[in-house]
């Protein structure tokens, strides 16, 4: 059992801590001019995509909703979100691919509901342009995700990004934070806590999700009976504590399968499961893929 909190009051809640530039890795940046060629179905990547459209239009289907991509607007596709692109004519746009290296429960998309589309500004466009011009070697070699969206390419992009000079990495991180801040400004928290005990329990789970603990123990930390804690947690978060832990662990496993070469048994251990067989059954039940099938989608 991990060390228990001594108080339920935190001087700085995990949901309010400052976002660190060190947690952002820019994988790709570039400018694309498509002419009816930006058509890719069921794309799902471990990184986040940002777009700034300058000319023409295209369609983005995300979570069953079709968004028309138009000039002067920015768009965001969160990591690990299935989506499709449709383009029949002119479509010119800047693109940035961002990998968030944060523990589960702390990244932007687990904490906030962010808008898909916002109106861009001249300053936003300048940031895209400057990132592109300063990092011309980070453009995509091919626009088709089936070519570049695999574990080998991703690991190579991460390596190249980390080998850039410190001042370039700092500039990129600063620019990315400015662009992300424009979306966060219009975001809404996924969890509006009316009870600090649930927030404390959630912070504890996020901190210790890899470790072995029971829901009874988390309820004790929150100074609640188990039944009361489960009811309160479900009311505040929308799912049961057990399902939240599973979602957290499987989310991390997906990232590891797409970015690392670890054996499945090691991935299972890394996300808190000592029994690889149980982990495999759980992963398949929640994703419709075995871990190996899921990994293979990033190894083409």
Q: What does the DSSP assignment read for 195-252?
A: -HHHHHHHHHHHHHTTS---HHHHHHHTTS-HHHHHHHHHHHHSS-HHHHHHHHHHHH
Q: What pLDDT shows up at residue 6?
A: 37
Tokens of 288: 């419709």
Strand ranges (E), the chain = 24-35, 40-43, 48-56, 58-62, 65-69, 73-77, 83-86, 90-100, 112-113, 117-119, 188-189
All domains of the chain, ordered by start, with CATH?
22-189 (2.60.120.280), 196-296 (1.10.10.60)
The overall pTM is greater than 0.95 = no
Q: In what order do the strands lie in the sheet containing 58-62?
A: 40-43, 83-86, 58-62, 65-69
Q: What is the pLDDT of residues 175-221, one digit of tens each?
A: 999 999 999 999 887 766 778 898 889 889 988 888 999 999 999 99
Determine contact, residues 157/27, Cβ cutoff 8 Å. yes
Task: Using CA atoms of 145, 150, 155, 160 in order, give the dihedral in degrees to the nearest 10.
Answer: -30
In whole angstroms, give the CA distance from residue 279 to residue 300: 24
Determine contact, residues 92/34, Cβ cutoff 8 Å. yes
Whether residue 10 has pLDDT greater than 60: no
Longest dimension (CA), the chain: 61
Place of tokens 């091919």: 142
Residues in Cβ contact with 177 at an 8 Å cutoff, skipping those fewer than 6 apart: 19, 21, 24
Q: What pLDDT shows up at residue 104?
A: 57
Q: Which residues of 204-218 are buried (b: 16+ CB within 10 A; e: fewer)?
A: bbbebbbeebebebb
The SS3 assignment for 137 reads: helix
Determine contact, residues 87/36, Cβ cutoff 8 Å. yes
Q: What pLDDT shows up at residue 103?
A: 58
In whole angstroms, give the CA distance from residue 218 to residue 239: 15
Of 273, 161, 266, nearest to 209 by C-alpha is 273
Q: How many CA atoms does the CB half-sphere of 112 hold within 13 Å?
A: 17
pLDDT category, 3, cuts 50, 70, 90?
very low
Q: What is the pLDDT of residues 16-72, one digit of tens each?
A: 444 455 578 999 999 999 999 999 998 988 899 999 999 999 999 998 999 999 999
Q: What percent of the chain has pLDDT over 90?
A: 56
Of 299, 291, 242, nearest to 268 by C-alpha is 291
């Amino acid at each position: 059992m991990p060390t228990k909190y001594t108080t339920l009051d935190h001087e700085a809640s995990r949901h309010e801590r400052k976002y660190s530039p060190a947690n952002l890795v820019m994988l790709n940046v570039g400018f694309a001019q498509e002419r009816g060629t930006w058509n890719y179905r069921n794309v799902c990547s471990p990184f986040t995509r940002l777009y700034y459209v300058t000319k023409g239009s295209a369609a983005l289907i995300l979570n069953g909703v079709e968004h028309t991509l138009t000039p002067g607007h920015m768009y965001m596709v969160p990591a690990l979100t299935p989506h499709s692109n449709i383009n029949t004519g002119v479509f010119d746009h800047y693109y940035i691919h961002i990998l968030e290296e944060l523990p589960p429960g702390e990244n932007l998309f687990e904490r906030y509901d962010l808008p898909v589309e916002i109106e861009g500004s001249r300053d936003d466009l300048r940031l895209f342009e400057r990132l592109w011009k300063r990092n011309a070697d980070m453009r995509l070699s091919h626009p088709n995700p089936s070519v570049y969206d695999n574990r080998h390419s991703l690991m190579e992009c991460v390596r190249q990004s980390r080998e850039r000079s410190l001042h370039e990495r700092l500039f990129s991180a600063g620019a990315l934070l400015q662009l992300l801040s424009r979306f966060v400004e219009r975001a809404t928290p996924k969890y509006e806590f009316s009870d600090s005990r649930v927030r404390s329990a959630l912070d504890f789970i996020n901190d210790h999700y890899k470790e072995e603990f029971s829901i009874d123990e988390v309820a004790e930390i929150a100074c609640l009976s188990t039944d009361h804690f489960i009811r309160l947690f479900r009311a505040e978060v929308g799912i049961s504590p057990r399902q939240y832990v599973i979602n957290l662990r499987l989310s991390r496993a997906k990232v590891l399968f797409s970015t690392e070469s670890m054996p499945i048994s090691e991935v299972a251990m890394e996300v808190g499961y000592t029994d690889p067989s149980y982990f495999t059954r759980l992963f398949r039940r929640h994703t419709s893929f075995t871990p190996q099938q899921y990994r293979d989608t990033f190894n083409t």
